[in-house]
Amino acid sequence: NAGVTQTPKFRVLKTGQSMTLLCAQDMNHEYMYWYRQDPGMGLRLIHYSVGEGTTAKGEVPDGYNVSRLKKQNFLLGLESAAPSQTSVYFCASSYSSTGEERKYFGPGTRLTVT
Amino acid sequence: LAKTTQPISMDSYEGQEVNITCSHNNIATNDYITWYQQFPSQGPRFIIQGYKTKVTNEVASLFIPADRKSSTLSLPRVSLSDTAVYYCLVGLRFMDSNYQLIWGAGTKLIIKP
């Protein structure tokens, strides 16, 4: 049982390049999330998914797209990377989306955009 | 702007009890308060969760006053391995009735020998 895994762990992009971050969970969770974490700002929700084939915008969705083609995978795409997207990205999953439901996090992807 | 507020950092010594408070004035009526712990280069990890009064598990206690506008995470007899960043997470109801789960900015706890 690997929990939540993320690939890659590190990436450096040049402005304007694109990339996809992959998140996978093996806990059969319905809900999956993508967060970004910047110094002094805690975690901010980018996009989330309430089930296979569905996605929704979070707090800071601009510049990102997501897809949930399979229940266990949640992809985060950057079509044209900008330096403001330099951050640590965390994927999480949970059984439901209420405040009661604990979230399980991946180890993170550190992205630098130059 | 409705949000959660925590101290930016705290220091303590091994064996002491540490209390970290999070204020959340606009907490949603039926929502829980959850605390997470994060070590460097790792994702946050669930510590404890509560709705009201007091909750205790094997690693921490959570104290929530009757008005639920704040909560205090209590770590008994801390050790060096408790050095981490601690986040509170609550559901907040905004002026337009919109609901969001909001993370605090985190409290960096440093435990000294």
The answer on pLDDT for A71 being more than 70 is: yes
Best probe of the B interface among A21, A33, A103, by most B CBs < 10 A, is A103
Q: Give the pLDDT of residue B93.
A: 66
Do β-strands A54-57 and A65-67 pair in parallel, antiparallel, or remain unpaired? unpaired
Question: Which sign, positive or negative, has the C-alpha torsion B20, B51, B61, A45?
Answer: negative
CA–CA distance, A44 with B105 (Å, rounded to integer): 10
B10 and chain A: CB distance < 8 Å anywhere?
A: no
pLDDT at B85: 96
Question: How many Cβ atoms sit within 10 Å of the Cβ of residue B74?
Answer: 16
Confidence tier at A102 by pLDDT (50, 70, 90) = confident
CB contact under 8 A, A42 and B90: no
Give every CB contact of residue B27 below 8 A, 6+ residues apart in sequence: B33, B68, B69, B90, B91, B92, B93
Q: Which stretches of chain B drop beneath a pLDDT of 50?
A: none
Of B43, B89, B106, the CB nearest to A107: B43
Q: Residue A100's pLDDT is what?
A: 65
How confident is residue A98, by pLDDT bands cut at 50, 70 and 90?
A: low
| Chain A CB within 8 Å of residue B50 CB | no
**Tokens found for residue A7:** 């690939």
* Four-residue CA torsion sign, A60, A102, B50, B18: negative
A76 or B97: which leads in pLDDT: A76
Q: Does B46 touch chain A (CB under 8 A)?
A: yes
Is residue A62 over pLDDT 90? yes
Cβ-Cβ contacts under 8 Å, B45 against chain A? 105
Convert the pLDDT of each residue in A8-52 to its tens digit: 999 999 999 999 999 999 999 999 999 999 987 789 999 999 999
Closest Cβ–Cβ partner in A4, A99, A104 for B101: A99
